[in-house]
Structure 1
Amino acid sequence: MLLVVGVAVAVAVVWVLGPGAKWWLVHVDGVKVGGKDGLAGKDLADALDTVRGRAMALGTGLLAAVAIYYTASNATSARRSAHAAIEGVEAARRSAEATEEAQLRTFELTQAGQRQSEEVQRRTFELTQAGQRQSEVAQRRTHELTEQGQRTDRFTAAVAQLGDASPAIQLGGVYALAGVADDSPTREFRQNCIDVLCAYLRLPYDPYPGDRPADGQDLAEHAEALKGYRAARQVRHTVIRIIGDHLREGAAVSWQGHALDFTDVVFDGVDLHEAVFDGGTVSFRGVTFLDTTSFTGVRFERGTVDFSRARFGGDKADFGDASFKGGTVDFTGVAFERGEVTFSRSRFMGATVSFVEARFDCSVSYSAAHFEAGTVAFSQARFDGGTVAFSSTSFTGSTVDFGAASFADGCVTFSQARLKGGTVCLRGASFEGGRVILGDTLIEGGTLDLGSAQVMAGTLDFLDTQFNGGTADFRSIGFKGGTTNFNRAWFGDSEVDFTDAKFGDGTVEFALATGRRPRGLPDDLAAHLS
């Protein structure tokens, strides 16, 4: 409609500006044109221009009104469009928010579902794992019970073989039991096997029947007895060999540190050379050692080894190069009855070793042994025969106690021994016979204590001894008999004290002795010393 009005106005204005101006002047303005009284010429032209001006102004105004109206219409339409656009944007926003909320809710539900699914999976996995573990435990337990049953069966069968009357079957039992011990998964079960082997050695057996039949004995009977003895001896020695092999370094399975109970066993020959007794308790209490006994190079470290009341009655007992380090080794009341016993080059370091009340009736050698720290006790020991040698032995920071020992016969020698710190105690010892040699001994610090000792017979010899530091205590010693020899002794920086010594019927000699005169000597004895 607005377009039609605009077109009509435009046509009218164009018409008035053209030929319609005159019509408008005549018919609208009522002006007479032409003739006698009408406008003509310039006046008519001016009037027409005026009409045209008014038409132009009217057209312009109408066009402006149309433009205004059109503009207003457009503005309204634009406002409606903008409002519609705003509403569309708002609707889109609300839709987006709704969509986002729906997506968020969907995501949350999805996450919750995933968590529930994961929880179900985790729980299922845990239940599966728990089931597997229970199954594995059950399988392991079944396996363990099976193995335990097999071990028990093997153990029982081996013990049965060991108890058989046939030595050949017994040998098989020994090896079988050692194999069960080696395969044992626990220390306790292995100990059970070792205990059985030791118990076998403790069983009594028929003594050696001799190389020849006894008077009136049937030859066949003697031959059978000798055969049986040798077969049983082979079994016993196999047990000892197997135990020794497991106690040495480099054993495939070590039995070191296990308890070994040989109490009251009669060993007719034993070889435990280079065995290591490291921790644990080992008992040789009351054992009788016959034939040849070898502890050469054995290491006694920590733990307790008990030789108390043992008897050494064989040809030789060898502890040469043995090491006594820490722990306790007990030879209390041991009897060295015959043959040769040697501790040569042995090392006593920080251990407590007791030979208390031991009896030495044969030759025993501690030559070149080394005593360092620790305590070795020979108190109340009795030396009744043979030679007990501490030659070239060194005493460094240890205590070696011969207190109240009895030297009745034979020879005990400390020749060329070295005392460097520590104490060698002979306090209260009695010298009843034989010869005790401390000659050529070097005392460099430490204490040599013979206080209250009694020299009643035999010879106490300090020939060429050097008292060079430390203390030599002879206080209250009694020289009741025999000979005590300090000839060529050198009294250097040591504190040598004879205070309250009793010089009776014995002979005490200081011929050619040099150095400082010991304290407490009678005026008529060693007067040449300064």
Structure 2
Amino acid sequence: MTSLEHPNDAIINWIRSHKKLIYLTADLSIIILTLTSIHILRLTGWLTQNAWAAIFYISALTVVAKQLLRHRRSLLLAITFWVLLSIGCYTTLSWIWGGRFLAGWTSEQSLNFKELLSSTLTAVGGIGAVGYLVIKYREQASAERAEVHQNEGEADKKLTAAVQQLGSNSPQVRIAGVYALADVADTYEGPYHQRVVDILCGYLRTDRLLKDANGDTRYATNEDGSPNYSLPISADNPVESTILSVLASHLRSSTTAEAKHQSRGPWSICTLDIHGAHITEHVNFDYAQIGEIDAHGIQLTQGASFTQTKFTNRASFDNSTFTQIANFWKSKFENEVSFRGTTFKQVAFFAENSFKQEVDFSEASFTQEVNFRGTQFLRTTDFRHASFKEKTDFSAVSFTQTPRLFEAIFSRLITFEDATFMQTADFRNTTFKGRTIFINCTFQGKTKFTATTFHQDASFQNASFMLTTDFGGVSFIHSVNFSECTFKNAVEFTSSNFSGDAIFEDTTFMLDAEFTAASFANQPSFEKARFNFSLKGAHRIIFPEQVNLNNNSLPPGAEWSGSQI
């Protein structure tokens, strides 16, 4: 076996080259099994002649079956096989009903000539009926194969003609070609669905942008007359919009009621390969169900709407550009999805989405507002090095596994209000340039904000931290609010810098709280804050020298509470 040969291929090749040995082994196995059964069942009424009859029948059936496998088109072998099989079924049923092995072939009473003749004619008629059925089946199968070949020939001719129309210089003829291709897929179905989809997607990938005299792409102009490089001019808008419309209509149910519930269309199992395409028309795949889609490097100069769309297989939008609004509201991603390095130049809606597998937004750029409100991330989520330049909404989001948000940049307001982090929340080296909200958040795993910078006000009011929390080396340039928070495990603010007000009012510290080498521009407020009494004097509640402490070694307003806070 070569290094590239699969083990299963080696087994199949060996079987094909040793057919005689395999057939001989099968025959011997049947005979041995039969003789063993006779020996075991000899006390239950089996007779020697019955045993030999069974051996003869099984051997004959095996020989005929082997020959039929070698010569599949032999009508005589087919009739013989089915006659033998019918005899076996008849014998088995008569054995069950009559209580004797050959109850259907022998009689305990002697028969007269008339009864013998009747039985003989019945048997001959049965054999003839089986042969007739085999012949009719062969005729029907042959007719169906001929019809299939004829249909395939017609389909291929129509497909070729439609492709020729799609290559015409006339937009009207190209549009007719699009509908002709869809008609071929609708009529002949099967593999023609994917073939037509491949042709239409291949057409979208071609360069159809308008060129100037030098062969350079022409662009729409801004108000000052300068070219707008985000809006190339297409010379094929009518055909492109027709293709997009045909694709959308075949990716959703034909009935309006079903279409709004993400019902499958005839092309929903197909793979869409539109990578690198320049789409200058509006894309509307609302309520569609899409199989696998490869849209990496795609340029969408108009709006793109995927409202309540279901992606059943992998979806790739890597390094794509959405020039206008990108709407994925209430979409469902059943498999992996990647927006790595994608640029969203206008508002992006991902609210109430469901990502059931890994999702990758690393190095993505959101130029305008982005909304992930109420979205469920059920697997690993990657936002590493992503940049959010306007308001970002992650409120009521659920991260079932670890979200990778470290080294991301949030330039404006960012809210995670009511969000839930089931595993580790990793915000290391993240930059929050705008106001930051983590109100009512639940951090059920470890929380890491190490070396993070908050340039504006930050609020963690009423947040719950279940496991260890690390704010070491964090810079709070403006005020930060941890009031009513609960730290159920150790929390660390080592070497953190609080340049504005630091509020820890009514906050509960159930275990260690370490502020070693932390810097406070103003005295922090710990009014009604509670610390675990069992840790008093254990050097596990640590404040820097600049923080004023009362007689209880706590900041003013704070108190020691019982071990069960």
TM-score by structure 1 length?
A: 0.66
CA distance in 2, matches of 1:170, 1:467: 59
Q: 1:380 corresponds to which residue?
A: 385
CA distance in 2, matches of 1:294, 1:210: 24
1:309 aligns to 2:319 (yes or no): yes
SS of alignment partner, residue 362 of structure 2: coil
RMSD: 3.4
SS of alignment partner, residue 481 of structure 2: coil
CA distance in 1, matches of 2:407, 2:200: 40
Q: 2:469 corresponds to which residue?
A: 473
Q: 2:300 corresponds to which residue?
A: 289
1:442 aligns to 2:440 (yes or no): yes
Q: 1:185 to 1:268 in 2, by over 3 A?
A: closer
Match of 1:487 among 481, 484, 492: 481
1:359 aligns to 2:376 (yes or no): no
Q: Report the AA paired with residue 192 of structure 2.
A: F
Give 1:398 shift: 4.5
Whichever structure has more helix as a proportion of its residues is 1
Q: Report the AA paired with residue 481 of structure 2.
A: N
Give 1:421 shift: 4.8
CA distance in 1, matches of 2:437, 2:405: 14
SS of alignment partner, residue 279 of structure 2: strand
Contact kept? 1:198, 1:262, Cα under 8 Å = yes
Contact kept? 1:478, 1:502, Cα under 8 Å = yes
Q: Deviations over 1:375-400 (max 9, x none)?
A: 322123234x233232x333264543
Q: 2:496 corresponds to which residue?
A: 503
Match of 2:195 among 192, 196, 209: 192
Q: Percent identity?
A: 18
SS of alignment partner, residue 118 of structure 1: helix
SS of alignment partner, residue 351 of structure 1: coil
Match of 1:342 among 328, 342, 349: 349
Task: Give ranges in structure 2 of 5+ residues lacking alignment.
Answer: 1-108, 211-216, 223-231, 256-263, 516-542, 549-554, 559-565
CA distance in 1, matches of 2:373, 2:200: 36
1:514 aligns to 2:518 (yes or no): no
Give 1:234 shift: 1.2
Q: Deviations over 1:268-305 (max 9, x none)?
A: 23433433445x421111111212111122223x4211
Give 1:442 shift: 0.7
Contact kept? 1:421, 1:470, Cα under 8 Å = no
Q: 1:329 corresponds to which residue?
A: 337
1:177 aligns to 2:176 (yes or no): no
Contact kept? 1:462, 1:484, Cα under 8 Å = yes
Q: Deviations over 1:100-155 (max 9, x none)?
A: xxxx99x7443444344334433433333332222212211111111111111111
Q: 1:54 corresponds to which residue?
A: none
Contact kept? 2:440, 2:464, Cα under 8 Å = yes
Q: 1:425 corresponds to which residue?
A: 425
CA distance in 2, matches of 1:274, 1:525: 57
Q: How many residues align?
A: 394
Q: 1:120 to 1:138 in 2, by over 3 A?
A: same
SS of alignment partner, residue 418 of structure 1: coil
Match of 2:270 among 258, 264, 281: 258
Q: 1:399 to 1:144 in 2, by over 3 A?
A: same
Q: Deviations over 1:246-287 (max 9, x none)?
A: 222446952212211111111223433433445x42111111
How do 1:35-46 and structure 2 match up within 5 A? none
Task: Give ranges in structure 1 of 5+ residues lacking alignment.
Answer: 1-103, 214-224
Contact kept? 2:329, 2:353, Cα under 8 Å = no
Match of 1:318 among 316, 324, 327: 327
CA distance in 1, matches of 2:123, 2:504: 104
Give 1:492 shift: 3.0
Contact kept? 1:309, 1:333, Cα under 8 Å = yes
Q: Deviations over 1:81-112 (max 9, x none)?
A: xxxxxxxxxxxxxxxxxxxxxxx99x744344
Q: 2:150 corresponds to which residue?
A: 146
Q: 1:119 to 1:395 in 2, by over 3 A?
A: closer
Q: Deviations over 1:226-260 (max 9, x none)?
A: 8xx45x21111111111111222446952212211
Q: Report the AA paired with residue 259 of structure 1.
A: T
Q: 1:503 to 1:138 in 2, by over 3 A?
A: closer
CA distance in 2, matches of 1:258, 1:427: 39
SS of alignment partner, residue 403 of structure 2: strand
Structure number, greater radius of gyration: 1
Q: 1:465 to 1:139 in 2, by over 3 A?
A: same
Q: Report the AA paired with residue 414 of structure 1.
A: T
Q: Report the AA paired with residue 110 of structure 1.
A: K
CA distance in 1, matches of 2:271, 2:237: 23
Contact kept? 2:293, 2:316, Cα under 8 Å = yes
Contact kept? 1:347, 1:370, Cα under 8 Å = yes
SS of alignment partner, residue 239 of structure 2: helix
CA distance in 2, matches of 1:181, 1:202: 20
SS of alignment partner, residue 453 of structure 1: coil
Contact kept? 1:395, 1:420, Cα under 8 Å = yes
Give 1:205 shift: 0.9
1:156 aligns to 2:147 (yes or no): no
Give 1:445 shift: 4.7
Q: Report the AA paired with residue 269 of structure 1.
A: E
CA distance in 2, matches of 1:259, 1:352: 20
Give 1:169 shift: 1.0
Q: Report the AA paired with residue 468 of structure 1.
A: S
How do 1:212-223 and structure 2 match up within 5 A? none
Contact kept? 1:429, 1:450, Cα under 8 Å = no
Give 1:327 shift: 1.6
CA distance in 2, matches of 1:253, 1:413: 38
Contact kept? 1:403, 1:425, Cα under 8 Å = no
